Amino acid sequence: IEGPMLYSKEAAPESWPWVLAGQVEDFPHNGGVAVKHGKEEVAVFHLPGQVDEDGRWLCVQNLCPHKQVRAISRGLVGVKPEGLITLADPVYKSIYDLRTGGGISHANLNLSTFQVKVDEQGQVLVKLPPADQMADSFARQSQEAAEKKNFKPPPRGSHPDIQVPRAPKNGVNLEW
């Protein structure tokens, strides 16, 4: 899905709730974890070696904008010499700025970003839109992208051009 990100942590309304993502110890150092939010997922990254506090905990959508694979949380995190925190999609190798969600290798592919904080009890909290709103927004974005490209998914079941012979079993025809 090409175009701007749906959500930006800088533009998050105050009305969005802080959603529990887990305890600090649930998150691997220098890696990410997928966190379910309704029908959608976000990827929360814990980078304890970052000097800047805004780089220690980062959250983006877990849905790859290139092929809609839910694998962003398993991406490879890197830090450039100038301090840019990057994320490489583990499947399609697209590279993103993990702080902003901006596409680096493909400028038109962007990840939504969300605010993260850790409270006094060690709970990792993410500021997210209501789950149904988030699911509807991502579904609408996907549908609009498909229509723009005139994409029609193939019908479910057997392909009409491929005939699969089905032998009768116990005298019962298996064609349906």
What pLDDT was estimated at residue 146? 86
pLDDT at position 154 over 80: no
Q: Note the Cα 61 to chain centre separation in Å.
A: 3
pTM, to two decimals = 0.85
Select from 42, 48, 49, 5 the least CA-distant residue to 20: 42
Record the tokens describing residue 11, joined without a space. 């533009």
Average pLDDT along the chain = 90
Q: Where are the alpha helices (DSSP H) in the chain?
A: 131-148
Confidence of residue 157 (pLDDT cuts 50, 70, 90): low
Give the tens place of pLDDT for each residue, 128-151.
999 999 999 999 998 998 888 888
Give the tens place of pLDDT for each residue, 67-105.
889 999 999 999 999 989 999 999 999 999 999 999 999
Return d(Cα 86, Cα 92) in angstroms, integer: 15
Select from 29, 99, 26 the least CA-distant residue to 59: 99
The DSSP line for 10-52 is: GG--TTSPEEEEEEGGGS-TTEEEEEEETTEEEEEEE-TT-SS
